[in-house]
Amino acid sequence: MSLRTQYDYLSALVLERVLSTLDNAVSLDSLVRSLFNVNRAVILMPGESLKRTIIDKSLLSDNMISLIFVVDSAVNYIAKYLEDYLKIFREYNTVLITDLDADVGKMSSFVYIINPVVIVHAHGDNLDKIQTLVPKLAKYCRVIVGTCQVFFYGKYVSYCEGFTDGDRALHLASKVARQVVVLGFDVKSGCTLSEKPLTETKRQKLRIAEKEADIVKLSGVLIEQI
């Protein structure tokens, strides 16, 4: 077992311990069952096409939406328009997917205002944030769930397919929705609205995420990318 994998397991164990102290922690299986069979899920990612959608309000005002997944790196941009979309985020089930590397203030404000479901992903690089930030987020979210990238299965933390927050959201959306609309998944331009530099490592992650998305498409779920 590599040192990196050992840290991933340790992070999953620590997240399991933290969630076990919270009253609103649930398992991933339980969450999937509660959301199952929705008509249409929308995933908001921080690519350039999200800007066009936010401005014209075309899809996010559609009454066909049943569920909204927000990738944490998109929160920086969405925060600017939160008042415009407050009713929508509160009216529909909103799920925040995070590995805790977004702007802490904006992410905390989003959770405080929207009261979403929060899915926290554990990996070796966010061990400290799991211990300090997860209890704070849990105070204001509806329920909180743990995922990890190693084959660990606890009461509240379990393995989840996907390499980035974006394709993890896509994997999860495909389990519960008949149709998935993806906004802002721009592999070439990267996460332009996340206020993070597009490094070569990030480009590689996005290419892997694109392959993960292709795998999801094979499941037969109708996926529309805008």
User: Residue 42, SS3?
Assistant: strand
Tens of pLDDT, residue by residue over 128-139, are: 999 999 999 999
Residue 53: give the domain boundaries. Answer: 3-225
pLDDT at 184: 77
pLDDT, tens digit, for every residue of 53-73?
665 655 566 566 778 999 998
Q: Where are the alpha helices (DSSP H) in 177-226?
A: 200-217
Per-residue pLDDT of 163-216, as tens digits, reads 788 888 988 998 898 888 888 776 555 455 455 555 555 556 556 556 656 555
The number of distinct structural domains making up the chain is 1
Question: Does the structure show a pLDDT above 70 at 38?
Answer: yes
- The rounded percent of the chain whose pLDDT value lies above 90 is 43
Strand, helix or coil at 27?
coil
**Can you give the CATH number for the domain in which 68 is found?**
3.90.1480
Q: Indicate whether 6 pLDDT > 70.
A: yes
3-state secondary structure of 190: coil
